Amino acid sequence: MAIKMLTNVSVAGVYHEATFRSEMSTQSCLAENLVVLEEQGDWIRVRLEDDYEGWVCRFFVVEKPEAWDTHNFVYNSDQISLIYQNPDLYSATLRDMTMLSGLPCLQRKEGWAQILLPDGNKGWIEDHPRQLIKTMDVEKLVQTAFDFMGIQYLWGGRSPKGFDCSGFVQTVFKLNGRQLLRDAYQQAEIGLAVNDDFTTWQVGDLIFFSEHTEKITHVAISLGNGDFIHSSGYVRLNSLNPDHADLYLEKYSKNFTRTKRII
Domains 4-63 and 138-261 are alike in CATH topology = no
Is residue 61's pLDDT more than 80? yes
150-196 pLDDT, tens per residue?
999 999 999 999 999 999 999 999 999 999 999 999 999 999 999 99
pLDDT of 246 reads: 96
Is residue 22's pLDDT more than 70? yes
Reported CATH class of domain 138-261: alpha beta
Is residue 214's pLDDT more than 90? no
Distances (CA, A) of 50 to 12, 174, 179, 250: 15, 10, 7, 34
- Residue 43's pLDDT band, with cuts at 50, 70 and 90, is very high
pLDDT of 134 reads: 85
123 near 74, Cβ under 8 Å? no
68-126 has CATH 3.40.140.10 classification? no
Q: How far is CA 35 from the centre of its chain?
A: 18
Using alpha carbons, select from 173, 168, 170 the residue that is nearest to residue 153: 168
Tell me how many degrees the CA angle 114-118-120 measures, rounded to the nearest 5: 65
- Residue 2's pLDDT band, with cuts at 50, 70 and 90, is confident
104-163 pLDDT, tens per residue?
999 999 999 999 999 999 999 999 999 899 889 999 999 999 999 999 999 999 999 999
pLDDT of 87 reads: 98
Query: Which of helix, strand or coil describes residue 148?
Result: coil
Q: Per DSSP, what are the bridge partners of residue 235?
A: 231
12 near 27, Cβ under 8 Å? yes
Q: Where are the domains of the chain?
A: 4-63, 68-126, 138-261
Q: Which long-range contacts (CB under 8 A, 24 or more apart) does 155-159 make?
A: 155/23, 155/24, 156/13, 156/14, 156/23, 156/24, 156/25, 156/26, 156/27, 157/27, 158/26, 158/27, 158/29, 158/182, 159/11, 159/27, 159/29, 159/98, 159/100
* Record: fold of 4-63: SH3 type barrels. (2.30.30)
Query: Which of helix, strand or coil describes residue 52?
Result: coil
Mean pLDDT of 235-241: 98
Q: Is the pTM of this model over 0.85?
A: yes
Tell me how many degrees the CA angle 230-234-235 measures, rounded to the nearest 5: 35
Q: What are phi and psi of 153, to 5 degrees?
A: -75, 140
Using alpha carbons, select from 81, 120, 91, 88 the residue that is nearest to residue 104: 120
Distances (CA, A) of 217 to 50, 186, 192: 19, 10, 19
Mean pLDDT of 192-220: 95
